[in-house]
Structure 1
């Protein structure tokens, strides 16, 4: 593969909006800003954190996109979800906003990769995908994180699309992929076994669609899986 796609590298200087995003999120995780409670006003947040109101609006907008807060017309902004109390034990410092943005990108890229994989996969591709998934099953039984194997599975599905740009994009963004999977799978270990079982059921739905050659169902199953992973990451709800 040529070097035409620039490899992702975390920004040396974090954007102010992302800094504030992470600071507000830390207060949500700690319970200082409780679930269901109204956040301080834009003016108050601006004073507390020493940033402009435009930076506050940028951070709040990102928190809304990620489903962590919700704005109510004429009332203010309220905490909608509180992540697990150990969220920041797994989160890469200064890159939480980027990790959650990457889930949005994954939904688009991997959904299409699964669509084309269902149409183009070979028997060898299917055997490889199923073999990796069996290793993930063993990981569940051993109560281990298994993020590397999970990434391997997703890359194998991208490879089965037989368009090298799908897998090249994922590999070039590997730092975010690795961080996101370590967070989701690591936090899942803090939950009941049903949480990992649910993830495996979603993998099984994707693989079933690939086996059947059902492109639309493969795309939907993959998008559903990644969107669910993103929701599980920002919510402490069982399973």
Structure 2
């Protein structure tokens, strides 16, 4: 029985290791295709090479390539057309590569997914449980963010303070703990997003600030549904804003 259990455990470990390896390879291919799109090797509106060609180009299997393509679709960088293949939907701003450490973009996108799940619930609870002191803390962070918009500062620290204040107002310290465990990744993502916003028209930063204000007002008014939606919309919009750029057909996507 012990031998059988040990064999089963080893088999699980092999599968997990293989799966983890495939995910890491898929992340690498994801970033290579993203880089090719940004650099114009795969132009916006054009069809991507076939899977066979892409597999040969990047030296990976089809399952690995398909994981990468799935993430690119999720990030609205490519779109599939039945019977025609995959097409480039948008070309992100080239500064994405300048501001992002090599190998970090896929992790940044996963950070946004984590935050959307955790912080939306925290905002809903904050709307129900906040104290006057909690509201004051959130309002102060909001004012600091407003100052950063006016002075042209990146403001990642103020952004982080705002979101941590919302988690604290939930009355459940596990939200703060979960978020704190990923602080370095979260601040990196925030810094990237706000740097990209500074390099864009002022309307983009104003839109981000408007989203923060909507979160605050929903919490202040005690509306958990509105707070949940405002936070989730804000974080998902932040994820999409990382890849602002030229849409298929040449239209601008700056107001997402």
Considering the TM-score relative to the shorter chain, is it more than 0.5? yes
Specify the alignment match of 1:5 in structure 2.
none
Counterparts of 1:224 and 1:238, CA distance in 2: 16
Cα shift at 1:16: 0.7
Q: How many matched pairs?
A: 229
Counterparts of 2:216 and 2:30, CA distance in 1: 36
5+ unaligned residues in a row in structure 1: which ranges? 1-10
Counterparts of 1:176 and 1:50, CA distance in 2: 29
Select which of 221, 229, 238 maps to 2:230: 221
Specify the alignment match of 2:254 in structure 1.
238
- Asked if 1:51 is matched to 2:60, the reply is yes
Counterparts of 1:81 and 1:164, CA distance in 2: 40
Cα shift at 1:235: 1.7
- Asked if 1:26 is matched to 2:29, the reply is no
Counterparts of 2:190 and 2:230, CA distance in 1: 18
Q: Is the 1:69–1:77 Cα contact (8 Å) retained in structure 2?
A: yes
Question: Greater helix share, 1 or 2?
Answer: 2
DSSP 3-state at the match of 2:87: strand
- Asked if 1:146 is matched to 2:162, the reply is no
Q: Is the 1:92–1:179 Cα contact (8 Å) retained in structure 2?
A: no
Q: Is the 1:87–1:187 Cα contact (8 Å) retained in structure 2?
A: yes
Q: Is the 1:69–1:79 Cα contact (8 Å) retained in structure 2?
A: yes
Q: TM-score, normalised by structure 1?
A: 0.92
Counterparts of 2:90 and 2:156, CA distance in 1: 24
Counterparts of 1:166 and 1:52, CA distance in 2: 39
Cα shift at 1:183: 1.1
Specify the alignment match of 1:129 in structure 2.
138
- Asked if 1:41 is matched to 2:50, the reply is yes
Greater mean alpha carbon deviation, residues 90-99 or residues 214-223: 90-99
Q: Is the 1:102–1:177 Cα contact (8 Å) retained in structure 2?
A: yes
Deviation digits for residues 93-137 of structure 1, max 9, x if unmatched?
A: 112111101211211111100000000000000001101111111
Larger radius of gyration: 2
- Asked if 1:169 is matched to 2:178, the reply is yes
Counterparts of 2:101 and 2:168, CA distance in 1: 27
Specify the alignment match of 1:207 in structure 2.
216
Q: Is the 2:23–2:67 Cα contact (8 Å) retained in structure 1?
A: no
Counterparts of 2:107 and 2:162, CA distance in 1: 22
Counterparts of 1:219 and 1:23, CA distance in 2: 35
Alignment of 1:107-122 (within 5 A): 107-122=116-131
* Structure 1 moving runs of 4+ over 3 Å: none
Cα shift at 1:224: 0.8
